[in-house]
């Protein structure tokens, strides 16, 4: 009897659903992305920044050294600016072109544009949607004020605030096989 049932299985008996990404998968993907950025982007800057404030064994001494030397302060600000730009470029370009970063690939998450009408399918987000959603990653004024807003938004709604602003969503897929499911 089983071979008769197997012959009746059609592709219509499986369905793929897009679900909002879980907070844990989202956090795991972000940790992987930051670790990768730390390894590739931030490491070369760390050595240069450490040499600029060598001898400062406390934050207070480092602050005093930066306040005393305009050249050192300018160099630290320029390095910070380039690290922020590279971070923004990493997230924006990968999410725009692939819909995923390396961390999101590991957790099988991807960005989609939320359709304007309920009967439309989600589509790939545009460049400026992804860029604007990632502005909260920039550690400079005024974007730094978005950090607590993003955290609160993720914890209470499971969506980043800036993603909601530009109508994109981080999703994961769930495939339901009606033939083999317990439902």
Q: For helices 43-52 and 70-97, give the axis angle rounded to 10 degrees.
A: 170
pLDDT of residue 55: 67
pLDDT of residue 2: 46
> What does the block give as tokens for 63?
């602050």
- Look up tokens 């993907």; give the residue: 29
Q: How far apart are CA 23 and CA 25, in angstroms?
A: 6
Count of beta carbons in the 10 Å neighbourhood of residue 169? 20
> What does the block give as tokens for 15?
């369905």
pLDDT of residue 4: 46
- Tell me the average confidence (pLDDT) per consecutive run of 10 residues in the chain, 183 residues long: 48 71 90 92 76 67 71 77 89 92 92 82 87 84 81 85 88 73 53
Answer whether residue 5 is part of any domain: no
Q: How far apart are CA 14 and CA 170, in angstroms?
A: 23
pLDDT of residue 89: 93
Answer whether residue 59 is part of any domain: yes
Concatenate the DSSP letters of all residues of the chain into one string.
-HHHHHHH--GGGEEEEEEEPPHHHHHHHHHHHHHHHIIIIIHHHHHHHHHHTTT--SHHHHHHHHHH-HHHHHHHHHHHHHHHHHHHHHHHHHHHHTS--HHHHHTTEEEEEPPSSTTSPPBPPPHHHHHHHTGGG--STTGGGHHHHHHHHHHHHSS-HHHHHTTEEEEEEEEEETTTS--
Total of domains in the chain: 1
Answer whether residue 2 is part of any domain: no
Q: At 15, phi and psi to the nearest 5?
A: -140, 140
Answer whether residue 56 is part of any domain: yes
Answer whether residue 4 is part of any domain: no
Answer whether residue 105 is part of any domain: yes
pLDDT of residue 31: 95
Specify whether the CB–CB gap between 99 and 124 falls below 8 A: yes
pLDDT of residue 93: 94
Name the pTM for this structure: 0.75
Answer whether residue 182 is part of any domain: no
Answer whether residue 3 is part of any domain: no
Q: Which residues span the domain enclosing 169?
A: 11-177
Specify whether the CB–CB gap between 165 and 177 falls below 8 A: no
pLDDT of residue 59: 67
């Amino acid at each position: 009897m089983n071979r008769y049932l197997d012959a009746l299985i059609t592709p219509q008996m499986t369905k793929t659903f897009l679900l909002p990404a879980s907070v844990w998968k989202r956090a795991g993907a972000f940790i992987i992305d930051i670790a990768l950025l730390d390894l590739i982007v931030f490491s070369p800057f760390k050595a240069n920044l450490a040499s600029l404030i060598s001898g400062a064994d406390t934050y207070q001494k480092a602050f005093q050294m930066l306040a005393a030397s305009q050249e050192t302060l300018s160099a630290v600000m320029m390095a910070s600016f380039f690290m922020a730009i590279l971070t923004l470029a990493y997230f924006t370009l990968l999410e725009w072109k692939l819909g995923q970063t390396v961390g999101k690939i590991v957790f099988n998450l991807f960005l989609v544009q939320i359709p304007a009408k309920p009967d439309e399918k989600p589509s790939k987000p545009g460049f400026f949607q992804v860029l604007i959603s990632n502005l909260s990653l920039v550690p400079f004024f005024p974007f730094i004020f978005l950090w607590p807003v993003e955290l609160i938004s993720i914890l209470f709604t499971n969506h980043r605030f800036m993603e909601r602003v530009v109508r994109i969503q981080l999703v994961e897929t769930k495939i339901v096989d009606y033939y083999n499911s317990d439902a």
